[in-house]
Structure 1
Amino acid sequence: MKNQGFVLWLTGLSGSGKTTLAKGIERELKERGCVVELFDGDAIRTNLSKGLGFSREDRDTNIRRIGFVANLLSRNGVIVIAAIVSPYRATRDELRHANSDFVEVYVNAPLEVCEARDVKGLYAMARAGEIRAFTGIDDPYEEPLNPDIVCYTAEETVEESVAKVISQLQRQEYIAEKPQLEYVI
């Protein structure tokens, strides 16, 4: 067992299920007694990256800031789950190289599914031209080439995707298997 923190980076389009999956993973890890911090893109933009726009340069700055803080926490034994669109492959790869304990999860859902799930109406506003540089519409999302884990959230239940991630973390020895309790009568 590695007995240390790590960064679990969930990337995918808006509406792909990153936050839902991250919360499920967080719950499972906390039940196992792990110290976990969840970074969600919306909360980060409100606090750590306030004032940044959505240009490529600003997006990269946002991702680098998140990665820097995640790395600091993980070096101190915290499991950091980052649920961030992070659309550009080069910036995600930069984070991977800066942190030896980095697990990339591609939360893969077709654009049509993400649009159907969009409760905030962001995709509709982007298609109407009310939002510019929206990832997946008029700004690219570069899929990971070699993610550690791929969750197909249009085909898998949340529970199946969480189990897939937990199983891989166990295989990579980031976390121990869940202890089985025996009852003695």
Structure 2
Amino acid sequence: MYRDTNKRSIAKGISWRVVATTTTIIIVYVFFDRLDLAIAAGMIETVLKVGLYWIHERAWFKIRWGRKKIDPFNLWFTGIPLSGKTTIADKVYIELEKLDIPLERLDSQDIRDLIPGIGFSREDRNLHMHRVGHLIKTLQKNSISTVSSFVSPYKESRRAIREMVKNNIVVYVKADVETCKSRDYKGVYEKALRGELKNFSGVNDIYEEPQHAEIVVDTNNLSVDESVELIIKHIKKNYVK
């Protein structure tokens, strides 16, 4: 992905102005056969149009009509491991980018890689969620929405996120353990069942189901695309007017 730098934008503006002024000079010269008149017309046009453009832009800056305001929101995907959180969240992020929404993608594994040494005890998980909440809050201060996917198995940590950030939308990605085990290409469920992995949500640690989720997608019955469509419809209806 590329973004024009200020220098490039200025260079493009100057090059276009040179082309436009040269065109005016040529047209005047062709019709009147006077080079001095053509050059004068080109110079007058340049000064006049720069001034008019500035006035035009300042006027439109003060006009609110046609502006689309999007309050930053946080889509919080929660569910047991391999319920489909990350897959669905990734696709939702791609679809929301098409709406030109300032957006960041936050995923549990990426954050854990960024902040190593985070454990999986209840205390560690709650502390981890508190840090993530502060990160989302900071992004929202800069009008950036977030698509976040975390197991977040405890209701107190999800409540803390809701209290910390604006427009928090809990997406409960629902799936039973057997369905998740069938998707387990890494064998983590088998390891948890054998006791090799401790504090594994849904096996040897609890997962407290959200009781007040704004969106519930049951991946036992819904495909990824159907789940994404459901979530995008909710965002378009409530946050992108």
Question: Normalised by the size of structure 2, how large is the TM-score?
Answer: 0.70
Partner of 1:34: 101
Greater share of residues in helix: 2
Structure 1: segments with no counterpart, 5+ residues: 177-185
Paired letter, 2:121: S
Q: Does the CA-based 8 Å contact 1:8-1:103 persist in structure 2?
A: yes
Aligned-partner residue type, residue 160 of structure 1: E
Distance 2:214 2:202 in 1: 22
The equivalent of 2:146 in structure 1 is 80
In the alignment, the residues of structure 1 paired with residue 101 and residue 81 of structure 2 have an alpha-carbon distance, to the nearest angstrom, of: 28
Deviation per residue, 1:69-108 (Å, 9 max, x gap): 0121122111111110000011101111122311110000
Name the counterpart of 1:164. Answer: 230
Partner of 1:134: 200
Partner of 2:73: 6
Identity, % of aligned pairs? 38
Could you say which residue in structure 2 is the equivalent of 1:45? 112
Q: Distance in 2 between matches of 1:26 and 1:175?
A: 14
Q: Would the aligned equivalents of 2:136 and 2:165 in 1 still touch at CA under 8 Å? A: no
Is there any run of 5+ residues in structure 2 with no aligned partner, and where? 1-67
Q: Does 1:125 align with 2:191?
A: yes
The root-mean-square deviation of aligned C-alpha atoms, in Å, is 1.2
Matches within 5 A, 1:145-184: 145-172=211-238, 174-176=239-241
**Could you tell me whether the CA contact under 8 Å between 2:173 and 2:216 is conserved in 1?**
yes
Residue deviations 1:102-138 (CA, integer Å, cap 9, x gap): 1110000111111111121111101011111111111
User: 1:4, CA displacement in angstroms?
Assistant: 2.3
Answer yes or no: is the 8 Å Cα contact 1:4–1:75 preserved in 2: no
Distance change in 2, residues 1:75/1:6 (3 Å):
farther
Cα-to-partner distance string for 1:20-54 (whole Å, 9 max, x where unaligned): 10111011011111222111111111113x11111
Higher relative contact order (CA 8 A, sep 6+): 1
1:7-26 to 2 correspondences below 5 Å = 7-26=74-93
Whether the 8 Å CA contact 2:72–2:166 is kept in 1: the answer is: no
Q: Using the alignment, how far apart are the partners of 1:161 and 1:101 within structure 2?
A: 20
Say yes or no: does 1:63 pair with 2:110.
no
Higher radius of gyration, 1 or 2: 2
Cα contact 1:106–1:151 (8 A) shared by 2: yes
How many residues align? The count is 174
Q: What is the letter of the counterpart of residue 12 of structure 1?
A: G
**Deviation (angstroms), 1:2:** 5.3
Distance change >3 Å, CA 97–CA 15, structure 1 → 2: same
Match of 1:180 in 2: none
**Counterparts of 2:226 and 2:160, CA distance in 1:** 29
**C-alpha distance in structure 1 between counterparts of 2:110 and 2:103, whole Å:** 16
Report whether the alignment pairs 1:111 with 2:150: no
Contact 1:5 1:77 in 2 (8 A): yes
Distance (whole Å) between structure 2 residues aligned to residue 54 and residue 2 of structure 1: 39
- Which consecutive segments of 4 or more residues in structure 1 shift more than 2 A? none
Partner of 1:99: 165
Structure 1: distance between partners of 2:69 and 2:131:
25
Q: Contact 2:74–2:166 (CA<8 Å) still a contact in 1?
A: no
